[in-house]
Amino acid sequence: MNPIKFSNALIIYFLFSLCACGQGTKGSNRKKMLMHNDSIEMEKEAYWKTKLSDEQYYVLREKGTEQPFTGALLLNNDSGIYKCSACGNPLFTSESKFDSHCGWPSFDKEIKGGKIITQTDNSLGVERTEIMCAHCGGHLGHLFNDGPTSTGMRYCVNSVSLEFVPEKKLSTPRLDTLTLGGGCFWCVEAIYENLKGVVSVESGYSGGIKMNPTYNEVCTGTTKHAEVVQIIFNTSETSLDEIFKVFFTVHDPTTLNQQGADRGTQYRSVIFYRNEAQKKAAQSIIEELERTNIYDKKIVTSIEPFNVFYKADISHQDYFANNKNEDYCQLVIQPKVDKFEALFKNRLKK
């Protein structure tokens, strides 16, 4: 796809669609909503019960284990990709699968990109490392360091936690990843999830000094992290230019450490680039916006080299989709989504 250049008229049209992320006292609203996490989790489990089979729910949501040597994928040797059977998150390639004779599908490495998260499991009276899908939190199995290959690792996975996609059904898109901060990550995530060509969007934190920060820690402003979204996109269906067009449409790049009522360095406008192409594209669009004097004030969006992305916990992922009836979603996020859909109506996912 050829880069799409900004015209003055289009930039002005974007300006009219700008909407501050925070309206009212978002901080207090978020605290109130986070107090209801238990009820939110109950709603999520009700959703999974309708989406998953009884066996899938037992393993993925209740951390059960299927009987050894019974899984449909145990002896599968075809080429392809193994995805999470709950949400479709790609987890393993067929090249990493090996026969461990343990009774469950085994892999010696995961697909890169933080697809899997781990935690300590003491449920059987011994310490083990549980592996879970990073996208939906579904239980996959356990990780051991007794693998026979060069990695020394053995990801022991329940077949029912996996969906196999044969190689012949896989496309081979060229993917790119970009990390952006434009105020509340709930708002920005909800918009990019609807843009054609975007493969995945995750909310999290970047640019700070604290390792593995929590949401509450980032909210203090002392970690120096920004609330960000990490976007993986197919460059044959969208482009850096379009990603940046959306970015400068859905937030105000002229307010320092602030989006509407949201104040603090965690809400700063920032682009974390991974390579020179991303850096130059970011510089180019900011120069064009300033050259045409679209804004009354100077653009304060910072362009910084990417270092590390810390994914926010699952309660912050797909927040708008999971909590559309909440006041903040109705009053703040929905209007922004509506404007985005009106402006980019030909670029929405079907």
| DSSP labels, 79-110 | SEEEEETTT--EEEEGGGEE--SSSS-EES-P
Q: Tell me which of 184, 187, 219, 329 is the catalytic residue.
A: 184
Handedness of CA 338, 27, 226, 11 (dihedral sign): positive
Q: Tell me which of 21, 133, 156, 187 is the catalytic residue.
A: 156
User: In this predicted structure, what is the pLDDT of residue 261?
Assistant: 86
| Structural domain includes residue 1 | no
Same domain, 245 and 336: yes
Same domain, 203 and 341: yes
Is the Cβ–Cβ distance between 302 and 270 less than 8 Å?
Answer: yes
| Structural domain includes residue 230 | yes
Active site residue 184: yes
Residues of the domain holding 25 = 8-42+172-347
pLDDT digits (tens, 9 = 90+) for 295-305: 889 999 999 99
- Got the DSSP string for 190-255? HHHTTBTTEEEEEEEEESSSSSS--HHHHHTT-S--EEEEEEEEETTT--HHHHHHHHHHHS-TTS
| Structural domain includes residue 60 | no
pLDDT digits (tens, 9 = 90+) for 5-60: 344 444 434 443 443 344 334 554 544 444 444 444 555 778 888 889 999 999 99
Q: Residue 171: which pLDDT band, with cuts at 50, 70 and 90?
A: low
Same domain, 238 and 111: no
User: In this predicted structure, what is the pLDDT of residue 347?
Assistant: 94
Rounded to the nearest integer, the mean pLDDT of the chain is 87
Distance CA 138, CA 47 (A): 13
| Structural domain includes residue 30 | yes
Query: What CATH number is given to the structural domain containing 274?
Result: 3.30.1060.10
Same domain, 212 and 301: yes
Which of 109, 131, 157 is a domain's end point?
A: 157
Same domain, 120 and 257: no
Tokens of residue 256, six digits: 């320092």
User: In this predicted structure, what is the pLDDT of residue 278?
Assistant: 96
Query: What CATH number is given to the structural domain containing 80?
Result: 2.170.150.20
Active site residue 156: yes
Same domain, 195 and 128: no
pLDDT at 241 exceeding the cut of 90? yes
Domain total for the chain? 2
Q: Residue 294: which pLDDT band, with cuts at 50, 70 and 90?
A: confident
| Structural domain includes residue 107 | yes
| Structural domain includes residue 97 | yes
pLDDT at 279 exceeding the cut of 60? yes
Tokens of residue 224, six digits: 């120096």
